[in-house]
Amino acid sequence: MRARAAGLLLGWAADRAFGDPQRFHPVAGFGTTASSLERILYADSRARGVAHTGILVGGAVVLGLLAERPRAARVLTTAVATWAVLGGRSLEREALAVHTRLVAADLPAARQRLTHLVGRDTAALDESEVARAVVESVAENTSDAVVAPLVWGAVCGVPGLLGYRAVNTLDAMVGHHNARYENFGWASACLDDVANLPGSRLSGLLVMAAAPGRAKVALQTWRRDAADHPSPNGGVVESAFAGALGIRLGGTNTYYGERVEHRAVMGDGRDARPDDITRSTVLARRVGLLAALTTAAISVRGGWTKRVRGPLG
Classified as helix, coil or strand, 205 is helix
Provide the residue range defining the domain that includes 38: 2-301
Is residue 306 situated within a structural domain?
no
Question: What pTM, to 2 d.p., does this model score?
Answer: 0.92
Is residue 309 situated within a structural domain?
no
Could you list the beta-strand ranges (E) of 225-268.
252-255, 259-262
Ordered mean pLDDT values, 10 residues apiece, the chain (313 residues) = 93 95 83 96 97 98 94 93 96 98 97 94 94 97 98 97 97 92 97 97 98 97 95 96 97 78 91 97 98 96 52 38
Residues 284-298, buried b or exposed e (16+ Cβ, 10 A)? bbbbbbbbbbbbbeb
Is residue 250 situated within a structural domain?
yes
- Please provide the DSSP assignment of 149-183 as one string: HHHHHHHHHHHHHHHHHHHHHHHHHH--SSTTHHH
**pLDDT for residue 307:** 45
**pLDDT for residue 303:** 55
Is residue 307 situated within a structural domain?
no
Is residue 74 situated within a structural domain?
yes
**pLDDT for residue 269:** 93
Is residue 308 situated within a structural domain?
no
Is residue 133 situated within a structural domain?
yes
Domain count of the chain?
A: 1
